[in-house]
Structure 1
């Protein structure tokens, strides 16, 4: 804000300097004109008084003097002639000098002239226009300052506060045409972060309780297994029937422990994938346009050929934003694990379904790794030096199933492809 205030101050200063400069120029022109026209009057006057009769001089070489008239000194001069002599002519200024022949007054000479004072009105108009222009500029600068920069300066602290975990400070929403939607989005983000923070703490608490509960429940069958194993080791059972019964008990308790482990895995998966999917309908073009806007320039910067094939604009079922998330995840994986040559999106129709095939060039993975690429927390050998947690494709498959769709992967000769199936 301080830098912008300096810009406003500099603008005002430039205006004042320009305005004062014009006034100084005007004053200098007036002073110059007042001396120049007097020089011309004196020059003409000296030429006239050398004779004894008036003859109108040639004024073509004079800049200021426009005409010269003579009023003779005589008792026969009428009042009308006198009034006409002193009458203003076309707004010109005039100066009157007496004409003497030795000591005798012959009459009066009137010199009609124009001075540069007539330019005053033009300069004043320029000054006025300059003032109006400056007023408009200052008004625009203050509008930008108060309506754009000042609110943005207030908002600029909010992301920093969110990054520190300060999620309770709510921004007051207003009807600002520039930041109204941004304020709403920031508040929604803050609420979501706050919600997930509370949910995370609650989940952490539930996990600890679950671990304590399962630990307690596992102890019983585990102690039973240890007891039977010790008995077998010490040859407590003297018949095969008792040994078989002990083995059956160990097997039953092992199954109990296995069920507990399955319950833990199931609970962890449900908590992990609580993803909301709003199933409705959307046009395929809306999805592809969003993909192109997001990744076309990015691929250009990475010097990757980004090819989008022809398609018919079908109405498909699902969640537009979640479908974009799936495609985005696949393309981001192509950036990470592809060879940076080509990403191609093709379109097919099959059994009233829309198929979107995303191919990226690069090395393929082994058959064993390929069978696990949609598993949670699984990362293939080509991902060792890349950031990630092995959940991207797992989440993609989960989302597609929630949209009553499917996703398939295929190892091709020159790379990998993923095919999305939308109803």
Structure 2
């Protein structure tokens, strides 16, 4: 069921319930008012007949004749008068007795002074009337033809009006929901035109501020991110293909050359050594890509725990020194630093990868193969700097150095794939920290600030 139809039906249902409640309340209040009003008329008629009987000049026969004449044109009230001994004193028409008074009924009237009740469709009013020191029980009964006709007419009008109003409300609901949801319909039509090859398309944002404007704005922002993600992915795959193709082409050429003629043992060893170097480069590239994939996981899927940053730095120091004995690494930790400042929530493996990349990068591009790691507090936040001396990084390269597969101008004579710093930044971002590069006067520094 469409939202438009569902909203219309719900709107109609709620309105029907409210109108029904209102109509029932009006009907029953009118019904109660009719009953109360007619009981009052019966009571007045009983008193008037009693006054006419006891104090008037009409005889009982004349009163009977008056009653019969009135019953021919209207629903006349039938009155009966009983004395305290329950003896009938007067009755408008004893042959057609509506009430059929008995001792129990008369006793209740004398006891309660007045009594109102229904006999089938007839309403009955019983009162006590005093005359010359004696008390009489008077009953007045009649069928309220006019009142019932009015109530039934009110009920008929209410039902017909209810049906008409519901139909009008349903039609109005369809019109209003169509008008209210027209931006959504327009959005759906525009979204259908957007696919993987047309991510540059955007929704038209309405000028009127509201929920649909926010939805259009959020959807366009999502398209921006998807477009950027697809572009990055294409660029990423293109670069990976290029980086993998280079060592594969070299290995293929070396091996094809080895098959063309017989070589000496030394020459075969040289060919195998070259191929092995290419395999190691591919293995290193593959490892970097695996680390990048792990750093690209949803943060909710990465395991974080309380770790000591200095211990991760020591592990990284030991690993880099073992793989590259020629590197000179100095680790300087402020001795006055509170140990609690070195404890942060993080993933040990990913931080180790980030620190390895920064240390290796600093030593690789240093003029003397050395790196200074300085750990201190900056504005009460833990700061780690990786400093080396050598060729400076230009301002242009500093702006792009954290992009994937980007190689700075001074790095073309060094082995690398342009993944390390990009991977490092993603890892640092995952740990709610910041990394920035600065380079001047042949000194380059990468600073990580844990907030």
For normalisation by structure 2, the TM-score amounts to: 0.35
Quick check: which has more Rg, 1 or 2? 2
